[in-house]
């Protein structure tokens, strides 16, 4: 049995999957189906293997929630009444397309119902369970994630088989809601967790630390369930599966939001945390529109979502660029490749973007701040464009699309910034108070402007007279808090400030959440 493991990295913590619950397994099977290398019978055999693994895993968690008890019986019914019966039938290889399609549709409906029940089970939002050492030691939360992962893979495989065999299924839809929904979800869950994690920064007693870590474990767990369900975002997905995806995601997100309200109160006086939570809320608003578009069709809801982000100005582009970079970064962090050079560049760019203010806090921007932020945008753009070429990426097949999306939205941000603050770019005098040191966000720029200048696109430097002023410590707002990555790496007490205290995790490998 392949139980998911917890991965930690400087910028992210989550679950890494293997075996039948892994994305690779699903992608390999679907590729074989699409290329006609896998027959209908072979597809059923693959799903049958998943059902056997599910039965075994349900045996481990039956007592946690009535949803698992009920769905363990449902899986047995699916296995015996649908799959084994059809595989045993003499006509399995010669059954008409209609008969095969009927079995596949019934499988899809049953699997979707099972996924919804398991992903939204009440135990997933029970903070008391995530404080229970026995629950953690048994890795019950990881077993639940495994169940959801196998169900997602089974649904995707069945859908792929239906699409490959049936001409009655509408093909790929030309809309942008699918990809944009994935980006908005990525931003919402990751930036929200980054903000909430700062509740561990203050001096706390042992019991309070334990309670807050339990809340963060619960939030992270639900984020991982969202990430798994979101793997069903696909332009070829059946309408019934789209509905299941939307319902499950909205239910999980709402439950997690309600349970994490305590953490939000704990960081109410933390400006950086509040800024990140505000970005996360903006992303969720867009996500809801995109989910409706994903289910109902391109025309109405996606247009509304597009108008929503257009009204938000650069924040709309910021949400999408952050989401793309987090999806890229996860590919490295979840596979133990957080030390890869590309992962370091992505993390660095995310730190800069997460430090950008949102509309409610940028109304009084002066000339210096406006110019500095524009230089930072240009620097991030150049880092991605010049240092994340396809030949430098770990998985270019998946990452190039995300990198290109990040570049496209960064370009939108710069154009919006030019329109709103272009008047400052030609200003000679600096307005406002004494500025901090100019940004050092370029890969090679760590001190003065001269070093940074070589890392900023010429169109930015030609138009922006950099102010000369006393230099102070540059901003070091990281993915999880106010300290830079290098500073955080040197903090010996970081183990007490992480949400997971599983016994087998090494302190040096834990994520930095501050």
391-433: pLDDT as tens digits: 999 999 999 999 999 999 999 999 999 988 888 776 544 444 4
pLDDT at 214: 93
Q: Is the pLDDT of residue 332 over 90?
A: yes
CB 35 within 8 A of CB 178: no
Percent of the chain with pLDDT over 70: 75
Range with the lowest mean pLDDT among 181-185, 300-304, 344-348? 300-304
In a domain, 353, yes or no: yes
Distance from the Cα of residue 125 to its chain's centroid: 19
Q: Is the pLDDT of residue 484 over 50?
A: no
* Residue where one domain finishes, among candidates 148, 169, 190: 169
Measured distance CA(38)–CA(43) in Å, rounded:
6
Q: Is the pLDDT of residue 211 over 60?
A: yes
**Mean pLDDT to the nearest integer, 107-126:** 96
Whether residue 102 is found in the same domain as residue 203: no
Whether residue 184 is found in the same domain as residue 153: no
Whether residue 413 is found in the same domain as residue 372: yes
Q: Is the pLDDT of residue 509 over 80?
A: no
Written as one string, the DSSP assignment of 162-192 is HHHH-SSS------SHHHHHHHHHHHHHHHH
Whether residue 292 is found in the same domain as residue 405: no
Q: Is the pLDDT of residue 161 over 90?
A: yes
In a domain, 503, yes or no: no
Whether residue 153 is found in the same domain as residue 46: yes
Angle, helix 341-354 to helix 314-333, in steps of 10 degrees: 150
357-366 long-range contacts (CB < 8 A, ≥24 apart) are 357/275, 358/275, 358/278, 358/279, 358/282, 358/315, 359/312, 359/313, 359/315, 360/278, 361/275, 365/421, 366/424, 366/430, 366/431, 366/432, 366/433
Residue 306 pLDDT grade (very low, low, confident, very high; cuts 50, 70, 90) = low
In a domain, 500, yes or no: no
Q: List C-alpha distances in Å: 52 to 1, 109, 121, 161.
A: 11, 19, 21, 20
In a domain, 248, yes or no: no
Whether residue 109 is found in the same domain as residue 138: yes
Residue 359 pLDDT grade (very low, low, confident, very high; cuts 50, 70, 90) = low
In a domain, 239, yes or no: no
Q: Which residue has the tokens 């109304």?
A: 363
Structure tokens at 165: 């065999």
Q: Comparing 355 with 506, which gets the higher pLDDT?
A: 355
pLDDT at 310: 61
pLDDT at 481: 39
Sign of CA dihedral 245, 250, 255, 261: positive
Average pLDDT, the chain: 80
Whether residue 29 is found in the same domain as residue 157: yes
Residue 93 pLDDT grade (very low, low, confident, very high; cuts 50, 70, 90) = low
DSSP code at position 126? -
Task: Report the candidate in 327, 394, 343 with the shortest Cα–Cα distance to residue 180.
Answer: 327
Whether residue 423 is found in the same domain as residue 463: yes
pLDDT at 439: 42
pLDDT at 494: 34
Q: Comparing 22 with 204, which gets the higher pLDDT?
A: 22
Percent of the chain with pLDDT over 90: 54
Residue 202 pLDDT grade (very low, low, confident, very high; cuts 50, 70, 90) = low
Residue 442 pLDDT grade (very low, low, confident, very high; cuts 50, 70, 90) = very low
Residue 360 pLDDT grade (very low, low, confident, very high; cuts 50, 70, 90) = low
**Mean pLDDT to the nearest integer, 471-481:** 39
Whether residue 334 is found in the same domain as residue 221: no
pLDDT at 206: 87
In a domain, 66, yes or no: yes
**Mean pLDDT to the nearest integer, 322-340:** 95
Task: Report the candidate in 109, 54, 119, 62 with the shortest Cα–Cα distance to residue 82.
Answer: 109
Per DSSP, helices labelled H in 355-395 are 367-387
In a domain, 391, yes or no: yes
In our burial notation (b when 16+ CB lie closer than 10 A, e otherwise), range 38-47 reads bebeebbebb
| Total tally of structural domains belonging to the chain | 3
Beta bridge partners of 8: 13
In a domain, 237, yes or no: no
Whether residue 197 is found in the same domain as residue 158: no
Angle, helix 206-229 to helix 140-165, in steps of 10 degrees: 10
Phi/psi of residue 134, nearest 5 degrees: -65, -40
Whether residue 122 is found in the same domain as residue 219: no
pLDDT at 474: 35
**Mean pLDDT to the nearest integer, 358-363:** 60
Whether residue 299 is found in the same domain as residue 428: no
Sequence-ordered list of residues with C-beta below 8 angstroms from that of 469, at least 6 positions apart, any chain: 368, 430, 434, 435
Give the domain extent around 216: 176-230+254-311
Count of Cβ atoms closer than 10 Å to residue 203 Cβ: 6
pLDDT at 302: 54
pLDDT at 458: 42
pLDDT at 217: 95
């Amino acid at each position: 049995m392949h139980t998911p493991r917890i991965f930690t990295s400087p910028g992210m913590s989550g679950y890494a999957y293997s075996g039948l619950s892994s994305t690779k397994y699903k992608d390999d099977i679907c590729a074989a189906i699409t290329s006609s290398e896998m027959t209908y019978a072979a597809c059923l055999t693959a799903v049958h293997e998943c059902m056997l693994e599910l039965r075994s895993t349900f045996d481990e968690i039956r007592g946690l929630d009535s949803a698992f008890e009920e769905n363990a019986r449902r899986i047995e019914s699916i296995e015996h009444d649908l799959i084994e019966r059809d595989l045993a039938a003499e006509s399995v290889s010669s059954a008409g397309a209609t008969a095969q399609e009927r079995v596949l549709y019934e499988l899809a409906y049953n699997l979707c119902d099972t996924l919804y029940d398991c992903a939204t089970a009440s135990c997933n939002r029970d903070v008391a369970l995530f404080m229970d050492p026995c629950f953690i030691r048994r890795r019950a939360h990881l077993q639940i994630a495994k169940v959801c992962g196998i169900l997602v893979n089974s649904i995707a495989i069945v859908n792929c088989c239906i699409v490959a065999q049936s001409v009655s299924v509408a093909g790929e839809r030309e809309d942008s809601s699918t990809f944009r929904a994935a980006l908005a979800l990525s931003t919402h869950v990751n930036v929200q967790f980054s903000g909430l994690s700062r509740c561990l920064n203050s001096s706390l007693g042992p019991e309070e630390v334990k309670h807050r870590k339990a809340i963060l474990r619960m939030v992270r767990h639900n984020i991982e369930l969202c990430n798994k369900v979101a793997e069903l975002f696909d332009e070829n997905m059946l309408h019934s599966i789209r509905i299941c995806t939307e319902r499950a995601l909205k239910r999980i997100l709402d439950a997690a939001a309600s349970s994490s309200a305590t953490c939000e109160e704990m960081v109410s006086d933390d400006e950086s945390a509040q800024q990140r939570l505000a970005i996360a809320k903006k992303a969720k608003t867009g996500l809801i529109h995109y989910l409706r578009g994903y289910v109902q069709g391109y025309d109405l809801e996606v247009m509304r979502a597009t108008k929503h982000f257009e009204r938000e100005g650069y924040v709309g582009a910021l949400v999408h660029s952050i989401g793309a970079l987090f999806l890229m970064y996860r590919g490295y962090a979840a596979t133990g490749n957080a030390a890869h050079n590309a992962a370091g560049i992505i993390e660095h760019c995310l730190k800069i973007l997460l430090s950008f203010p949102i509309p409610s806090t940028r109304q009084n921007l002066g000339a210096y701040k406006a110019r500095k932020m524009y230089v930072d945008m240009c620097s991030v753009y150049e880092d991605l464009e010049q240092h994340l070429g396809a030949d430098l990426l770990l998985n270019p097949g998946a990452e190039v699309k995300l990198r290109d999306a990040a570049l496209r939205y960064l370009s939108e941000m710069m154009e919006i910034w030019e329109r709103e603050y272009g008047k400052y770019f030609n200003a000679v005098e600096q307005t406002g108070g004494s500025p901090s040191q100019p940004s050092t966000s370029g890969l090679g720029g760590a001190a003065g402007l001269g070093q940074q200048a070589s890392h900023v696109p010429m169109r930015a430097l030609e138009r922006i007279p950099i102010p000369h002023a006393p230099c102070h410590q540059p901003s070091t707002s990281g993915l999880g808090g106010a300290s830079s990555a290098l500073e955080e790496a040197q903090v010996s007490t970081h183990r007490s400030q992480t949400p997971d205290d599983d016994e087998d995790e090494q302190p040096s490998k834990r994520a930095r959440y501050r």
